[in-house]
A and B are shown apart, each in its own frame.
Chain A
Amino acid sequence: MSSPDRLRAIVVDDEELARHGLREMLAAHPDIEVVAECANGFEAVKAVSEIAPDLLFLDIQMPKLDGFEVLELLNPGPAVIFVTAYDEYAMRAFEVHAADYLLKPVSAARLAAAIDQARGRIGKTPPPAVELAAAARPPTEYLERLVVRDGTHVHIIPIAKLDYAEAQDDYVALHSGGKQFLKQQTISSLESALDPARFVRIHRSYLVNLDRVVKIEPYTKDSRVVVLADGAQLPVSRAGYTRLQALLEGKA
């Protein structure tokens, strides 16, 4: 048998009836204690950092922050069981990344199986949030906004407001309107989530918003820099220059 401890769980769903239904089904599991209910992603992020539960039942479609964004902001966080009505891409992503999930309406047997599986995952590395979210996005869609957590505060950065991103070890520094936000993600995975017609990888460590580029200047004998609207200068590699040129010519 799994650990004798009771698991402390939070139920996150924007529909009161759905929360109620799940809570009622969980009453049949004496080893699960529902310690909080949240009606949206903001509440969920806050509750998780305050309560530090073992398990999170997470709806995907919610106002403000969706389930994937919540997961991104809780790294590392509790074990997560996604709950969704119907989303073919999300279901495929769960299968690929072996995430636990339940389909609405939830059956008692599936719920028990998911809890058992989640129990085995507690304390282990959670599924890679960013990759899971990327896999759940329809193939023709790009990210429209980025979410970053700063303590309990959540910043939402619309893509149009992102000036450039800079790789810093396991993080990317997102530069937006003179401010800088750190996000745990590789620059390559960020690059693949953004519209390639709007964002160019000008350098191993830099991804730039094409709308912000004012000019390209020579720097040394065979290297260049781009100058952004706010005066910032970023290095351009040779391969980056080729990509930049191709995009600018395509636009002209």
Chain B
Amino acid sequence: MHPLLARRERLGIYLLVWLAIGFLLHLLLVAASHAGWIETLALVAPLCLIYAFVCLAAWYPVTGTPVDSLRELPRAMLTHLAAAFLVSGIWTLLGAGLAYLLAQIPSFAGFFTRFRAQGPVLFGVGVLLYLLSVLLHYALLAYEVSRQAEKREDEARVLARDAELKALKAQVNPHFLFNSLNSISALTSVDPSKAREMCILLAEFLRTTLGLGEKAAIPLEEELSLIRSFLAVEKVRYGARLCVQEAVAPECLSLFVPPLLLQPLVENAVAHGIANLLDGGTIRVEARLEDEVLLIVVANSFDPESVRKRRNGLGLANVRKRLEMRYAGAGSLRVHPGSDTFEVEIALPAERGAA
């Protein structure tokens, strides 16, 4: 769609500009030919109106010959110059025809001869106006292209955010939620204050989870505190079966990581490690900085005889995909399955500010 015809207010401004052009052209012709200003107006008004719309047609050769590099410039210039000569030539002839017809009106007698001398001036003005219109249309084209790119970028951003939100939703495991509620339900009579404490822990975990989805990156310290509140809830359920060890180098705490990167790993460690062990086991969370690479390890004991369900691969695949999207080749996730310990190691470039 033509960018000027598409919007009424743009077309209005364009025609106003043409009113000014017509006025100037009128002055020019009256001064050059000593013709009467009424007969000149009778000629210039229809000519300008027609040419205003003819110049709009420049949009099509302009979109057909976009100039993306200097090499394409000569060809485009030649094309438009040829078009300008052709269009202006036809316009001048049209003007001559109109002047001839006007000259038949008794009061305008002799107008054709007065006009004929001004033919070359009209032709020159026509070429110039057409070329100006070509420039205008190139400017419009550039504007449209950049606006569309912006729109695409916005759409991509919305899509990425949607995907992230979906991922986050999937990460709050319904199994975890209902089991926690069941623990609270049991605690209400056994130990009411503990029940309240667990409600608060669970609320804290859920609130943090929801809040983090908005952010692109958070300090490792925040992610660790999220994990701690998750594990505190699980600890109520599993009691002595769940042990947690944390070994985090202090210089890592302020480094930025994508939110909820470690939480699914810790959740897996509980669901597929600790939950399958009669006497429970240990979850170990480590972080250290090596050559500007942040290394994070989440390890858990597991029962080698237990069936490895396919569902636990999903959490890992999700984390791996997010690393890929954010760090391209610079982030990685490695899995080290041992005889009774399952270890996941994440390596990320050390980020000191929120990107």
Contacts and interface: CB of A to CB of B under 8 A. Distances in A.
Interface in B303-323: 303, 305-311
Contacts of B161: none
A103 to B, nearest CB: 7
A17 B189 CA distance: 11
A85 B303 contact: no
A21 B186 contact: yes
Interface in A47-82: 61, 63-64
A64 B303 contact: yes
Interface stretch (A139-147, A169-177, A216-224): A139-147
Interface stretch (B31-39, B93-101, B236-244, B287-295): B236-244
Contact of B278 (A64, A105, A144, A156): A64
A14 interface: yes
A225 B307 CA distance: 33
B277 A86 contact: no
Contact of B310 (A17, A20, A140, A156): A140
A105 B184 contact: yes
A106 interface: yes
A95 interface: no
A17 B194 CA distance: 12
Binding site secondary structure of chain B? helix
B317 to A, nearest CB: 15
B178 interface: yes
B104 interface: no
A163 B309 CA distance: 22
A57 B311 CA distance: 26
Interface string A25-66: 000000000000001100000000000000000000101100
Contacts of A85: 174-175, 178-179, 182
Interface residues of A, number: 28
Contacts of A40: 278
Most buried by A among B174, B276, B308: B276
B190 interface: yes
A104 interface: yes
Nearest to B178: A85
Given A85-B175, A144-B308, A104 B181 contact: yes
Interface in A114-148: 138, 140-141, 144-145
Contact of B238 (A15, A21, A64, A145): A15
Interface of B: 174-175, 177-179, 181-187, 189-190, 236-239, 275-278, 303, 305-311
21 contacts: A15-B179, A15-B237, A17-B237, A18-B179, A18-B182, A18-B186, A21-B182, A21-B183, A24-B190, A63-B276, A64-B278, A86-B175, A86-B177, A103-B178, A104-B179, A104-B181, A104-B185, A105-B178, A105-B185, A105-B186, A144-B308
Given A63-B306, A86-B178, 4 more contacts: A17-B183, A18-B179, A63-B275, A106-B182
